[in-house]
Amino acid sequence: PVLVVDYGAQYAQLIARRVRETQIYSEVVPHDTPVEEIVRRDPAALVLSGGPSSVYAEDAPQVDPALFEAGVPVFGICYGFQAMTAALGGTVEHTGTREYGRTELEITGDGGALHEELPGHHPVWMSHGDSVSKAPEGFTVTAGSKDTPVAAYEDRNRRLAGVQYHPEVAHSPHGQEVLRRFLHDIAGIKPQWTTASIVDDTVQAIREQVGDRRAICGLSGGVDSAVAGALVQRAIGEQLTCVFVDHGLLRAGERAQVERDFVAATGVKLVTVDATEQFLGALAGVTDPEEKRKIIGREFIRSFEQAARDLVQGSEGDVDFLVQGTLYPDVVESGGGSGAANIKSHHNVGGLPDDLQFQLVEPLRALFKDEVRRVGLELGLPETIVHRQPFPGPGLGIRIIGEVTADRLETLRAADSIAREELTAAGLDRDIWQCPVVLLADVRSVGVQGDGRTYGHPVVLRPVSSEDAMTADWTRLPYDVLERISTRITNEVAEVNRVTLDVTSKPPGTIEWE
Ligand code: XMP
């Protein structure tokens, strides 16, 4: 792999993704990983990430000079560029001028392998206080900026290079090309990490792990569990059974989509558990959001475990494996990356107990979300499953403000389905992260329809744009789309006589209302 050495930047995972976009496999490792450990992993190249520190700060993470003697190509970015400079005998100065944000890069000479034939001046994203004033021995300086004499250098013989700016962010429009040139041209790595190769390798690994034993997979209706299930199905076929718990809190058409589209695309054995009454019974009279979440989580585990027991009893062999859709960012964030399986705290099926007697199969452990989507398409899953909006495990139960009842669910389902239809028809699915529709079931307002007074409930549209749901902004939907949604909901859903728009970012609001 190409190892991205993480110096504490929020950018390390992004760099790994960008490396993978050049069709080369990449993983993140912490900066305190010993050089011997790094060399033992036989990396095709190293990328030293940016970081918050100054190389002169007391606790600044240093780069061990031994790293450059291993013959491994190295690319330094921002802090990594400066740390590399210091380790190799160049000069990093505390200039006092900070460069932050969009900056003009000025190419010097022919631009070297990294910048050759790119525009002589082009914008890049900078974020630094210290500057490199003198490159180490043997390096050619190929770019500078107004405040930084040395903004890029390279030594093609030793296959070492670095840039002061952040090539991984979208604000550096040629950044991806520069990263690609380092990996392909300077480091000489062959691009082989393709969706097809991911599928082949993963299928092989699952076969080795599971052998001729049996596995179950809980489907949540979300992208990750669907793709994980489809991969395991491709690997072990009949030895897999998928379990889908219908808790009655699903959106319109979701159960049918799993039962019809997912099964058609994969040929998987599917057991659907109809647990609507069980869930609604447990939720009766409950209005507190946290209490709702706990009840839904608990009932979910009960239904899933019951289904698993039924399955074991009704068949000749034991079920030894549980398939989970854990993604690479979860692995990095829980400090894992290599070695023992790390059960993350919240997963697709909503918190299974530790004493569940299964070994885990986690076929998506190495992948980012966009890769998971591409794998899904490669496996023949329909767009409707692969590009669906994130939907919370507790479902519509936390989008009804007030008690959850069958009637209220029906009302919300109808309104939600109209909003989704209109957003899709307007081609906005890829522009929004998700658009919860929330029913204010305990609020009523007066309206007039036909010649009569109405006294109905409002719904709230909550369209948000986000990269990762940690932060979000409210999406500026076109007025004509809002108008169509509003008109249709108030005309077609009898109990709703008012449509409102949530214009709160996150923070301070969360995406969901409960
Ligand atoms: P919040 O409301 O915290 O939501 O801003 C962030 C993202 O997480 C989703 N979400 C959940 N997903 N189980 C899930 O699988 C949950 O309990 C849950 N709660 C919120 C939410 O839809 C948004 O994408």
64 is in an annotated binding site: no
Give me the amino acid identity at 173: P
Residue (of 83, 88, 90) closest to 56 by Cα position: 83
Q: Report residue 2 as tokens.
A: 């190409």
Residue (of 197, 208, 217, 311) closest to 263 by Cα position: 217
Is the pLDDT reported for residue 346 higher than 90?
no
Give residue 349's pLDDT band: very low, low, confident or very high (50, 70, 90).
very low
pLDDT at 309: 86
What's the 347 CA to ligand 1 centre distance in angstroms? 11
223 is in an annotated binding site: yes
For 251-306, how does the pLDDT look when each residue is reduced to its tens digit (9 = 90+)? 999 999 999 999 999 999 999 999 999 999 999 999 999 999 999 988 988 898 88
Q: Give the ligand 1 atom nearest the CA of 506.
A: 5
Is the pLDDT reported for residue 343 higher than 50?
no
225 is in an annotated binding site: yes
What's the 468 CA to ligand 1 centre distance in angstroms? 11
Name the percent of the chain lying above pLDDT 70: 95
pLDDT at 91: 95
Mutate to test the pocket of ligand 1, among 245, 389, 416, 511 (most ligand atoms within 8 A of CB): 511
Torsion sign, CA atoms 84, 87, 91, 92: positive
Distance CA 120, CA 110 (A): 9
pLDDT at 351: 53
pLDDT at 84: 96
325 is in an annotated binding site: no
Nearest CA to ligand 1 atom 6: 469
For 162-194, how does the pLDDT look when each residue is reduced to its tens digit (9 = 90+)? 999 999 998 899 999 999 999 999 999 999 999
pLDDT at 354: 63
Nearest CA to ligand 1 atom 3: 510
Distance CA 388, CA 254 (A): 11
What's the 512 CA to ligand 1 centre distance in angstroms? 7
pLDDT at 379: 97
Entry pTM: 0.83
For 5-31, how does the pLDDT look when each residue is reduced to its tens digit (9 = 90+)? 998 877 899 999 999 999 999 999 999
Q: Give the ligand 1 atom nearest the CA of 348.
A: 15
Distance CA 123, CA 320 (A): 54
Is the pLDDT reported for residue 89 higher than 90?
yes
Which residue among the candidates 78, 217, 242, 435 is catalytic per the annotation? Answer: 78
Identify the weakest region by mean pLDDT among 141-145, 164-168, 354-358: 354-358
For 103-114, how does the pLDDT look when each residue is reduced to its tens digit (9 = 90+)? 999 999 999 999
Q: Are 162 and 153 in contact (CB under 8 A)?
A: yes
Residue (of 388, 144, 120) closest to 253 by Cα position: 388
User: Is 168 noted as a catalytic residue in this protein?
Assistant: yes
145 is in an annotated binding site: no
pLDDT at 340: 29
Is the pLDDT reported for residue 416 higher than 70?
yes
What's the 371 CA to ligand 1 centre distance in angstroms? 21
Average pLDDT of the chain, as a whole number: 91
Is the pLDDT reported for residue 37 higher than 80?
yes
Nearest CA to ligand 1 atom 19: 392
Residue (of 476, 349, 485, 493) closest to 408 by Cα position: 493
Distance CA 361, CA 321 (A): 6
Report all structural domains of the chain as residue ranges with CATH numbers, in order of start: 2-186 (3.40.50.880), 195-386 (3.40.50.620), 405-501 (3.30.300.10)
DSSP 419: H
- The SS3 assignment for 55 reads coil
Is the pLDDT reported for residue 375 higher than 60?
yes
Which residue among the candidates 31, 128, 166, 347 is catalytic per the annotation? Answer: 166
Q: Ligand 1 in contact with 393 (CB < 6 A)?
A: yes
Q: Ligand 1 in contact with 307 (CB < 6 A)?
A: no
Distance CA 205, CA 321 (A): 14
- Average of pLDDT values for 73-78? 97
Is the pLDDT reported for residue 350 higher than 70?
no
pLDDT at 339: 31
Nearest CA to ligand 1 atom 14: 392
Name the percent of the chain lying above pLDDT 90: 75
Q: Give the ligand 1 atom nearest the CA of 434.
A: 24
Distance CA 390, CA 200 (A): 27
The length of the chain is: 514
Q: Ligand 1 in contact with 80 (CB < 6 A)?
A: no
Q: Ligand 1 in contact with 222 (CB < 6 A)?
A: no
Which contiguous run of DSSP H or E holds residue 384? helix 383-386
Q: Report residue 147 as tokens.
A: 């405040």
Residue scoring higher pLDDT (307 or 330):
307
Phi/psi of residue 12, nearest 5 degrees: -60, -45
**First and final CA of the chain: distance in angstroms?**
41
303 is in an annotated binding site: no
Nearest CA to ligand 1 atom 22: 392
What's the 225 CA to ligand 1 centre distance in angstroms? 16
354 is in an annotated binding site: no
pLDDT at 58: 82
What's the 452 CA to ligand 1 centre distance in angstroms? 39
Residue scoring higher pLDDT (363 or 306):
363
Q: Report residue 248 as tokens.
A: 């009655």
Q: Ligand 1 in contact with 162 (CB < 6 A)?
A: no
What's the 107 CA to ligand 1 centre distance in angstroms? 45
Q: Give the ligand 1 atom nearest the CA of 436.
A: 22
pLDDT at 5: 95
Is the pLDDT reported for residue 468 higher than 80?
no
pLDDT at 334: 65
